Amino acid sequence: MQFTNDALTFDVREYGPGAGETVVLLHGFPEDAQCWDAVASQLATEGYRVLVPTQRGYSPTARPRRRRDYQMSAVASDVEALLDAAGVDRAHLVGHDWGGSVAWAVAGTRPERLYSVCSVSTPHPRALARSMVTSSQGLKSSYFVFFQLPYLPEALIRAVGVERGVRSLVRTGVGEPTARRYVDALREPGAATGALNWYRGLPFDLVAQRRRGAGPGSGPTPGGGERSAARKRLPTLYVWGSHDAYLGRKAAELTADYVPGPYTFAVMEGASHWIPESQPEALTELLLTHVRAVPAA
C-alpha cells in the first residue's frame, strides 16, 4: 500500500490479515523497511496486521529537501497519516533507532492513537540528553555534530566507498548482505542527504523546545509530550542491546525515570545496536509478550 502526507508519497510493506490488530514498525538510519521482514513475518503468523513504512528521506517520492521538514513533529505526523490511510484508529507502535525517537514522539503527542509503544535501542529523549553530561554518551553521539555540516558527510560517504562502508557496519553488528544493501542505497542520488537530514532536523526541535519554555532535556516531542503521555499512561517496552556501539547503558537505565505508564525494560545481553536484523526471534518474543498484555479496544 501507499499513503501521502505533506505532499509526500510513502511506500508501506504490509503483512498478515487485513482485519488483525495492527502493529506499525519504524526503521532507523541507515536502514530500510526490509530490516523488519523477519519480525513482521513472525508477528503476521500470530494474526497481527503489520505495517512497515519506508520513512521520509529514504524514498525518492518522500524526500523533502529542507532540514526543517525532518523535525520530529513532521516525521511523527507521518505515523498518524499512515494510520488514517490504513483505516486504523489505534495501533501498537514499534521503532528502532530513529524510528524509536518517532515512537517516543507519537506516544507523547498522540497517545490516543496507540495501544502501546516500544522503542528498540533508542532511549527516551530526555534520558539521552541527561546521559550526555553524566556518562560517555556525549562521545558516542559526537557524530551528530559532524552530520550537521552541509555536503561534507555526503562527500565522505562517497569517498569511503562501498567495501569500507560495508566493513564499518559489519564491525558494529550488521550482517554483510544487509550492510551492503544499506550502503548501496545511501549511494543513490539524494539518498544520503535524505537520511542525514534526520540529524539536521534536530536544531529545529531545540528551537521549538525553547519557544515552549522547555529545558534542553525535554525531548523532541512538541506540545508537552510527557504530560500527554502521563494522561494516557501507555504500556511501554524498551529493548536495549548490551553491546550497542552508539547508545550506552546510562541512557538506557535513565529511561525509566521518564515513562509514567506500565514499563518494561528488556536488556538483550550481547546484542548489538542492530536488534531487528540480528535478533529477530528474540525481539519478536518480547513484542508478542508486550502486545498480548494490552487489552484490545
* Alpha-helix residue ranges (DSSP H) falling in 174-247: 176-186, 191-200, 202-211, 225-232
Q: Residue 34 falls within a domain, yes or no?
A: yes
User: Does residue 13 come out as left (phi exceeding 0), alpha (psi in the -120 to 50 range) or beta?
Assistant: beta
Closest CA to 294 of 213, 230, 234: 234
Contact 201, 67 (CB under 8 A): yes
Residue 137 pLDDT exceeds 50: yes
Residue 247 lies in domain: 2-138+202-292
Q: Residue 214 falls within a domain, yes or no?
A: yes
Mean pLDDT, rounded, of the chain: 92
**Angstrom distance (rounded) from CA 284 to CA 276:** 9
Q: Residue 133 falls within a domain, yes or no?
A: yes
**Angstrom distance (rounded) from CA 286 to CA 271:** 14
| pLDDT tens readout for residues 10-51 | 999 999 987 889 999 999 999 999 999 999 999 999 999 999
Q: Which DSSP state fits 105?
A: H
- Write down the pTM of the prediction: 0.93
**Angstrom distance (rounded) from CA 24 to CA 129:** 26
SS3 15: strand
Cell numbers describing residue 129: 540528553
Q: Residue 146 falls within a domain, yes or no?
A: no
| pLDDT tens readout for residues 63-112 | 999 999 999 999 999 999 999 999 999 999 999 999 999 999 999 999 99
What are the Cα distances from residue 114, in Å, to 38, 98, 172, 185? 23, 18, 32, 31
Given this model, what pLDDT does residue 57 score?
A: 97
Cell numbers describing residue 148: 550537521
**Angstrom distance (rounded) from CA 35 to CA 117:** 19
Q: DSSP for 240-295?
A: EETT-SSS-HHHHHHGGGG--SSEEEEEETT--S-HHHH-HHHHHHHHHHHHHTSP
| pLDDT tens readout for residues 192-215 | 999 999 999 999 888 777 776 543
Number of domains in the chain: 1
Q: Residue 58 falls within a domain, yes or no?
A: yes
Residue 126 pLDDT exceeds 60: yes
Q: 233: pLDDT confidence band, cut at 50, 70 and 90?
A: confident
- Listed range (49-53, 224-228, 248-252) with the worst mean pLDDT: 224-228
Q: Residue 127 falls within a domain, yes or no?
A: yes
Q: Residue 189 falls within a domain, yes or no?
A: no
Domain containing residue 209: CATH number? 3.40.50.1820
Q: Residue 209 falls within a domain, yes or no?
A: yes
**Angstrom distance (rounded) from CA 98 to CA 217:** 17
Given this model, what pLDDT does residue 237 score?
A: 98
